[in-house]
């Protein structure tokens, strides 16, 4: 029987479907020092963000020669040493279509929150304050949204932002994307200078370091907003707090952090910041879509 290890959770409907189709499914999180040995007992491992599948774990799994497939339930695969795993004959894939809409919605939610002080006024009212004269916000309609990266999530956000009367521009490592002429392609530096809102939608590559650091923040408009629902590490968090403190940026919406769970209290507690604990894909609909996609991947792989 083909055994599937699910370490970070999966929709119950998907677990039931896999079992119905004859797969054995074990739902259990293991610490790294234990996971390597456990992988010798499974043909497939399904992870989300919490579990990291690095070279030492892959080497342990290879000793038994049983592990054939690693699936990341979500968009990125930066928590997996993909090239190394493939070099050892282990397939690696993800579910790129499942969470595009939910992450785009969260990015938009953060844009609204920091534009209209939803984040901090919610807190102040719970403290018995009525600071209605203090929270004069800005409208997002008529503003320019700059998208850094133009994959599935970014395109979903572009569509939603356009419907809200925003002008959308984007930058992309591979250049202009065909079929999206309604949006202007820009180089990163030009995008930073033109945008009222900058939203990140790219993977974090450790070797490349931060994408938005002190120099990039300096290029942005005074009073601009920065949104990151992509990956932690893309923004220099110290430089971001400085830019918020000195008034360069009007606000930031952050769902992902350099270290998670984050201990950066200066950022989390900043009155100009809207924060969430890495919940971009945390909707019922996304979990159902991820589960269905995982079932399809496994069934196709072992047919």
144 plus 25 within the same structural domain: no
| Given the residues 156, 278, 289, 293, the one annotated as active site | 278
198 plus 89 within the same structural domain: no
| Given the residues 63, 139, 260, 285, the one annotated as active site | 260
104 plus 94 within the same structural domain: no
Which 3 state secondary structure label does DSSP give 18? Answer: helix
- 5: CB partners within 8 A, 6+ apart: 26, 28, 38, 39, 41, 42, 44, 45, 46
| Predicted local confidence at residue 75, as pLDDT | 80
22 plus 143 within the same structural domain: no
111 plus 90 within the same structural domain: no
| Given the residues 72, 110, 201, 231, the one annotated as active site | 231
Catalytic site includes residue 260: yes
| Predicted local confidence at residue 21, as pLDDT | 96
| Predicted local confidence at residue 207, as pLDDT | 79
92 plus 104 within the same structural domain: no
| Predicted local confidence at residue 76, as pLDDT | 77
Ranges of beta strands (E only) in the chain are 3-6, 24-27, 44-47, 69-72, 91-94, 144-148, 167-171, 184-185, 197-200, 224-228, 249-254, 273-275
> 111 with 90: CB under 8 angstroms?
no
288 plus 261 within the same structural domain: no
Tens-binned pLDDT, residue by residue, of the chain (303 aa):
999 999 999 999 999 999 999 999 999 999 999 999 999 999 999 999 889 999 999 999 999 999 999 999 988 788 999 999 999 999 999 998 888 999 999 999 999 999 999 999 999 999 999 999 999 999 999 999 999 999 999 999 999 999 999 999 999 999 999 999 999 999 999 999 999 999 999 988 877 889 999 999 999 999 999 999 999 999 999 999 999 999 999 999 999 999 999 999 999 999 999 999 999 988 999 999 999 999 999 999 998
Q: How many CB atoms lie within 10 A of CB 243?
A: 25
115 plus 133 within the same structural domain: yes
112 plus 135 within the same structural domain: yes
Q: What is the CATH number of the domain that holds 36?
A: 3.40.50.720
174 plus 263 within the same structural domain: yes
78 plus 179 within the same structural domain: no
257 plus 133 within the same structural domain: yes
- Number of domains observed in the structure of the chain: 2
Catalytic site includes residue 201: no
| Predicted local confidence at residue 191, as pLDDT | 98
Catalytic site includes residue 3: no
| Predicted local confidence at residue 4, as pLDDT | 98
Range of the domain at 40: 3-98+283-301
């Amino acid at each position: 029987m083909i055994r599937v290890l699910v370490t970070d959770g999966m929709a119950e409907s998907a677990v039931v479907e896999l079992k119905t189709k004859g797969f054995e499914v074990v739902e259990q999180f293991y610490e790294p020092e234990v996971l390597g040995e456990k992988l010798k007992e499974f043909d497939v491992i399904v992870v989300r963000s919490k579990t990291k599948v690095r070279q030492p774990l892959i080497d342990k799994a290879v000793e038994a020669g049983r592990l054939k497939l690693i699936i990341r339930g979500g968009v990125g695969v930066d928590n997996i040493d993909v090239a190394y795993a493939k070099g050892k004959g282990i397939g690696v894939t993800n579910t790129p279509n499942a969470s595009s809409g939910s992450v785009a919605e969260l990015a938009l939610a953060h844009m609204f929150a920091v534009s209209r002080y939803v984040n901090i006024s919610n807190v102040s009212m719970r403290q018995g304050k009525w600071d209605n004269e203090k929270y004069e916000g800005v409208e997002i309609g008529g503003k320019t949204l700059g998208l850094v990266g133009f994959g599935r999530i970014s395109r979903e956000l572009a569509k939603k932002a356009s419907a809200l009367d925003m002008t959308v521009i984007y930058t992309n490592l591979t250049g202009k994307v065909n079929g999206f002429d309604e949006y202007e392609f820009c180089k990163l530096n030009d995008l930073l200078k033109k945008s009222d809102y900058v939203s990140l939608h790219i993977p974090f590559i450790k070797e490349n370091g931060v994408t938005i650091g002190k120099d990039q923040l300096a290029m942005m408009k005074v009073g601009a907003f920065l949104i990151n629902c992509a990956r932690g590490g893309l923004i220099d968090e110290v430089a971001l707090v400085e830019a918020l403190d000195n008034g360069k940026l009007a606000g930031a919406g952050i769902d992902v952090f350099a270290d998670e769970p984050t201990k950066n209290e200066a950022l989390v507690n900043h009155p100009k910041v809207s924060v969430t604990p890495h919940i971009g894909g945390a909707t019922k609909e996304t979990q159902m879509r991820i589960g269905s996609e995982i079932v399809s991947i496994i069934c196709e792989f072992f047919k």
